[in-house]
Structure 1
Amino acid sequence: MNIAEFRVEPANYQADFDDLRAVRVAVFVNEQYIPQEVEFDSVDPDCHHFVARDNQNRAIGTGRLTSDGKIGRMAVLQTCRGQGIGEALLLNLINKARKLGRTSVFLNAQTDVLGFYEKFGFIREGDIFTEANIPHQRMRLQIEPITKSSRPAPKPRDALVEIAEFKTLEGTVSATLELITKARRQICIYSPDLEYVLYGRLDIGEALKKFAINSSGGNVLIIIQDTLAVRSHPHPLIDLAQRLPSAFLLRTPIESDDLQYPSAYLTNDRDGYLFRQQSSQYRGVWSPTMPSRNRQLSEEFERVWQRCRPCAEFRALGL
Structure 2
Amino acid sequence: MDSDPSQPFRIEAVDYAAALNQLRAVREIVFVEEQQVPLELEWDELDPNCVHVLARALDGTPIGTGRLTPEHKIGRMAVLREWRGKGVGDAMLLALIEQARQRGWREVSLHAQSSAIAFYLRHGFQPYGERFWEAGIEHQSMRRVLGGPASIDHRDTAIETIVDIVGDARRHLFLYTRDLDPGLFDAPPVMEALRRFGTAGRGNEMRVLLQDAAAPQRGHAPLLALAQRLPSVFLFREVDDPVDKAYPSAYLANDLGAYYFRTLGHRFDGEADLHAPGRARQLRGAFMPVWERARPVSEYRALGI
Mapped to 2, the partners of 1:246 and 1:281 lie a distance apart of 29
Structure 2, unaligned runs of 5 or more: 1-94, 102-146
Write the letter of the residue equivalent to 1:292: G
User: Which residue of structure 2 aligns with residue 162 of structure 1?
Assistant: 148
C-alpha deviations, 1:223-251, integer Å up to 9, x for none? 01101211212111000000100111111
Q: Which amino acid is the alignment partner of residue 262 of structure 1?
A: P
- Aligned equivalent of 1:201: 187
Please point out which of 241, 247, 251 is paired with 1:255: 241
CA distance in 1, matches of 2:204, 2:215: 27
In the alignment, is the contact (CA less than 8 A) between 1:185 and 1:215 conserved in 2?
A: no
One-letter code aligned to 2:208: I
1:212 aligns with 2:198: yes
**Length-normalised TM-score, structure 1:** 0.49
How far apart are 1:221 and its partner, in Å?
A: 0.6
Identity %: 35
1:237 paired to 2:226: no
> Does residue 190 of structure 1 match 2:173?
no
Tell me how far 1:184 sits from its aligned partner: 0.8
2: CA distance, partners of 1:241 / 1:262: 26
Using the TM superposition, give the Cα deviation of residue 162 of structure 1 relative to its aligned residue in structure 2, in angstroms: 2.9
Q: Tell me if structure 1 keeps the 8 A contact 2:159–2:187.
A: no
Specify the alignment match of 2:260 in structure 1. 274
The answer to whether residue 209 in structure 2 is matched with residue 223 in structure 1 is: yes
Q: Tell me, what secondary structure is at the counterpart of 2:236? A: strand
Give a deviation string over 1:36-65, Cα, whole Å, max 9, x none.
xxxxxxxxxxxxxxxxxxxxxxxxxxxxxx
Cα distance between partner residues in 2 of 1:215 and 1:278: 34
Q: Is 1:175 the counterpart of 2:161 in the alignment?
A: yes
> Which runs of no fewer than 5 residues in structure 1 stay unpaired?
1-157
Give the CA deviation at 1:215.
4.7
Which secondary structure state, in structure 1, belongs to the residue aligned with residue 264 of structure 2? coil
CA distance in 2, matches of 1:204, 1:188: 15
Corresponding residue SS for 2:281: helix
Instruction: Provide TM-score, normalisation by structure 2.
Output: 0.51
Report the count of equivalent residues. Answer: 162
- 1:102-181 superposed matches below 5 A: 162-181=148-167
2:232 paired residue number = 246
Is 1:313 the counterpart of 2:299? The answer is: yes
Distance of aligned partners of 1:255 and 1:308 in 2 relative to their CA distance in 1, 3 Å threshold: same
Offset at 1:293?
A: 0.7
CA-atom RMSD in angstroms: 1.7
Q: Map Cα deviations across residues 83-109 of structure 1 (whole Å, 9 max, x no partner).
A: xxxxxxxxxxxxxxxxxxxxxxxxxxx
Tell me if structure 2 keeps the 8 A contact 1:212–1:247: yes
**Which secondary structure state, in structure 2, belongs to the residue aligned with residue 165 of structure 1?**
strand
Indicate if the aligned counterparts of 1:184 and 1:215 stay in contact, CA closer than 8 A: no
Partner of 1:266, secondary structure, is strand
C-alpha contact (below 8 Å) 1:265/1:273 kept by paired residues: yes
Aligned-pair CA distance for 1:166:
0.8
Q: Find the aligned partners of 1:219 and 1:212 in 2 and give their Cα distance.
A: 8
C-alpha distance in 1 between matches for 2:299 and 2:213: 8
Pair 1:215–1:300, CA change in 2 (3 A): farther
Task: Indicate conservation of the 8 Å contact 1:193/1:226, yes or no.
Answer: yes
